[in-house]
Amino acid sequence: MDAGTDAVELRHLRHLVAVVDAGGFTGAATQLGMTQPSVSRAIAALEAALGVRLLRRTSREVVLTSAGERVLARARRVLAEVDDLAEEARSGHTRLRLGHAWAAIGAHTVELQRRWAAAHPGVPLQLVRTNTSTGGLAEGACDVAVVRSPPGAARLDSRRFDSAVVGLEARYCALAADDPLARRRHQLRLADLADRVVAVDPRTGTTTVDLWPSESRPAAEEVHDVDDWLAVIAAGRCAGVTAESTLTQYRRQGVVFRRLRDAPPVPVRLVWWRDDPHPATADLVGLLAQLYRGGTGG
């Protein structure tokens, strides 16, 4: 980083905005509760740090230079972001970010958003898709994450994270529309896929070849997210096995889903930071558990 920009301080930006809004140094000093020489020194320090002239004094007023116009616009945005950050930190979270890697809460996603908005109007629920093993939690992209892969595969260290299973989802097979198995209207079995290539996302998917007995496991092809997964299935190169939520969120032309009658269900787990939980985490866990139970709530 340039040594000059290291010397730019937030107070310098606030002084610049105050001078412009107050129409001069005297008014800015009154607004900021400072002396006029202090304001002048702050503006001079900012100009020195940036290496440009920001203000031009005339006999009657102080006006912005062209560089000053550009810096002022950015300064207002920076100060607004800092004020928002401080407000969120003081208020104990003004929103709840729910991270997920694939399919959010499947068929419950819309109902979750509606019920949450009605019960918590002051805490907006924001869905964030991040294709990582922790649904964006470890990366700081969310406050709570939906995780369907096993805790070990998701690298969910119990010393760092707390979690709760809120529901179970059936497993489905995904096939190309012209696959012979797709013509079956009844449920399939895992053995029907033993001679196939199964698309597997090792970071965020719910499926590994360990679902099959060791003597009859299908081959696996790695993919990197749900869009890759759907593409190789639609092309007929692979079959897929996934949780029920995927078929409700990712309908794709050329791909059909058939339920697997002998595959174990997929646990739907919420995960959050143990040492810094969002204040509304318990409410989210309770609402999702209710939705998966089929409750209507009050």
Tens digit of each residue's pLDDT (9 = 90 or more) over 206-229:
888 999 999 999 999 999 888 999
pLDDT digits (tens, 9 = 90+) for 159-169: 789 999 999 99
| pTM for the structure as a whole | 0.68
CATH class of 96-168+267-293: alpha beta
Answer yes or no: is pLDDT of 1 > 50: no
Q: Tens digit of pLDDT for each residue in 18-69? A: 999 988 999 999 999 999 999 999 999 999 999 999 999 876 788 999 999 9
* pLDDT of 291 higher than 90: yes
pLDDT of residue 221: 96
Q: Is the alpha carbon torsion for 152, 154, 160, 164 positive or negative?
A: negative
pLDDT of residue 295: 55
Domain with CATH 1.10.10.10 in the chain: 3-91
- pLDDT value at position 187? 81
Q: Distance between CA atoms of 269 and 260, rounded to whole angstroms?
A: 21
pLDDT in tens, 230-257: 999 999 999 999 999 998 888 888 999 9
User: What mean pLDDT do residues 97-104 have?
Assistant: 90
Interhelix angle for 10-22 vs 25-32, to 10°?
A: 120
Tokens, residue 91: 């208020």
pLDDT above 70: residue 298? no
CATH 3.40.190.10, the chain: domain bounds: 96-168+267-293, 171-264
Q: Which residues of 32-53 are buried (b: 16+ CB within 10 A; e: fewer)?
A: bebeeeebbebbebbbebbeee
The whole-number average pLDDT for the span 56-85 is: 88
The angle subtended at Cα 295 by Cα 241 and Cα 97, nearest 5°, is 65
Tell me the per-residue pLDDT of 132-179, one tens digit each, with 9 for 90 and over.
888 899 888 899 999 997 655 556 676 789 999 999 999 999 999 999
CATH of 3-91, one of 3.40.1690.10, 1.10.132.20, 1.10.10.10, 3.40.50.1100: 1.10.10.10
In this predicted structure, what is the pLDDT of residue 2?
54
The pLDDT mean for the chain works out to 89
Q: Kindly state the average pLDDT of the residues 262-281.
A: 93
Q: Yes or no: is domain 171-264 CATH 3.20.20.70?
A: no
